[in-house]
Amino acid sequence: PLRVAVLASGRGSNLAALIAARLQVDFVLVGSDKAKAGALALAAAAGIPTLHLNPRDYADRASFDRALFGRVAEAQPDLLVLAGYMRIIDGTVIAPWEGRAINIHPSLLPKYRGLHTHRQCLAAGDAEHGASVHFVTAELDGGPVVAQARIPVGADDTEETLAARLLTREHALLPAVVRAIASGRLAWQGGPVFDGTPLTAPLDLT
Ligand code: GAR
């Protein structure tokens, strides 16, 4: 089975969705930059090896990232999933993971990279919001998008209602992408391919 490592900084509901999806994968590590991340507790309860490294113990971003990604590499994952991992990753450290790492981001990329995506969507008056899964490159939230889920934005929506409604779609989207990779339908050959064909538009796997 595909060996999957996960990095998460927060509550870990996307990790919970991955575990609950009963994918044909082996979770080899869940790592976090936050000791209190819900994701670490979830992983421990599921019998998955966990790792916490504190950025404050390192001189700078690059040395933290070298340490963290060194430990991730030791777990020998085929795929690294960023599931609510909230730190920018040093470009030199992430570069060797190109094609082997995916990230879920709560916007319809290329719209709204970075933080406060729900706020940005509301401020722009968009009729639609969504979440994207993309392959990770050195560019923050900038790698090729492989799948998206979309929700309509209502007149009464707030950041909180949008985030909550989108999260339930994320919980279907991320496992669907990992399932597609585990089954060999979605792969990386210098760029994303689906069933052997270059991916030109994001899939809606939800
Ligand atoms: C999710 O909404 C995810 O898309 C987002 O953080 C949340 C994590 O929730 N990720 C980012 O904003 C990445 N820049 P979770 O901890 O419950 O999975």
- Tens digits of per-residue pLDDT, 115-162? 999 999 999 999 999 999 999 999 999 999 999 999 999 999 999 999
- For the record, the structure tokens of 31 come out as 């790592």
Choose the catalytic residue: 52, 105, 129, 134: 105
pLDDT at 204 over 90: no
Average pLDDT over residues 200-206: 89
Tens-digit pLDDT profile for residues 10-67: 999 999 999 999 999 999 999 999 999 999 999 999 999 999 999 999 999 999 999 9
Residue 167, ligand 1, Cβ within 6 A: yes
Average pLDDT over residues 89-100: 97
Residue 9 Cα to ligand 1 middle (Å): 8
Residue 11 Cα to ligand 1 middle (Å): 9
- DSSP class of residue 96 equals G
E strands present in the chain: 2-7, 25-32, 50-52, 79-82, 101-105, 128-135, 145-152, 186-188, 192-194, 197-198
Give the number of other Cβ atoms within 10 Å of residue 173's Cβ: 25
Residue 31, ligand 1, Cβ within 6 A: no
Please state the separation of Cα 204 from the chain's center in Å.
Answer: 16
Q: Looking at the CA of residue 15, tell me the nearest atom of ligand 1.
A: 18
| Residue 174 identity | L
Structure confidence at residue 35 (pLDDT): 98
Residue 141 Cα to ligand 1 middle (Å): 13
Structure confidence at residue 205 (pLDDT): 84
The overall average pLDDT reported for the chain is 97
3-state DSSP helix/strand/coil % of the chain, to nearest 5 = 35, 25, 40
Known binding-site positions: 12-14, 61, 86-89, 103
Structure confidence at residue 98 (pLDDT): 97
Can 105 be counted among the known catalytic residues? yes
CA dihedral of residues 172, 46, 184, 75 (deg, nearest 10): 130
- For the record, the structure tokens of 181 come out as 């990779």
pLDDT at 187 over 90: yes
> For the whole prediction, is pTM greater than 0.90?
yes
17-23 CB contacts, 8 Å cutoff, 24+ apart = 17/170, 17/171, 17/172, 17/174, 17/175, 18/81, 18/83, 18/174, 18/175, 18/178, 19/46, 19/48, 20/175, 21/175, 21/178, 21/179, 23/175, 23/178, 23/179, 23/182
Structure confidence at residue 24 (pLDDT): 96
